[in-house]
Amino acid sequence: MRLTTYTDYALRVLIYLGLKGDKLATIREIAERFQISKNHLMKIVHNLGKDGYIETIRGRHGGLRLARPPKAINIGEITRRYEEDLRIVECFDRKSNTCLIAGSCGLASHLDEALKAFLSVLDAKTLADILKGSPGLRQQLLGAN
């Protein structure tokens, strides 16, 4: 299983803002720190704000910060919200399935079980868990801050 770049970047934005605490960050700052496209991040930040995960402050001294405490941001929820398609194999979609062995193959049930286990682990984690479980992250991303 592989998360899309979109979900990966959304999680990175949340991690960065979680490390910043109440201090504001900018899209440019985050893009430079992670060496990713500012334009791509703008769409992600817009959706994170629209969905209530981050707060955006406009103006000359504006920026971004978390809209919720890190312990209130669930990693499983973020993954489900931003992943376009959690269908691991074609037969998970009854409408477009053309697999000739669907219905008689036991693989789909095992993959479904694995997907549920994957999401269950993420459901048990919050942004606070990520931040707490990564002791060198603050220094690596924020330097002396």
Structural domains of the chain sorted by starting position, each given as residue range(s) with its CATH number in brackets: 5-142 (1.10.10.10)
93 against 70, higher pLDDT: 70
pLDDT tens sequence across 124-135? 999 999 999 877
103 against 20, higher pLDDT: 20
Mean pLDDT of 115-129: 96
pLDDT-above-70 percentage for the chain: 92
136 against 117, higher pLDDT: 117
90 against 18, higher pLDDT: 18
Six-digit token pair at 102?
Answer: 């669907």
pLDDT of residue 91: 64
69 against 115, higher pLDDT: 69
Q: Residue 92 and residue 1: Cα distance in Å, rounded?
A: 14
Mean pLDDT of 95-117: 80
pLDDT tens sequence across 33-43? 999 999 999 99
What average pLDDT does the chain have? 89
119 and 80 in contact (C-beta within 8 Å)? yes
Sign of CA dihedral 97, 101, 107, 113: positive
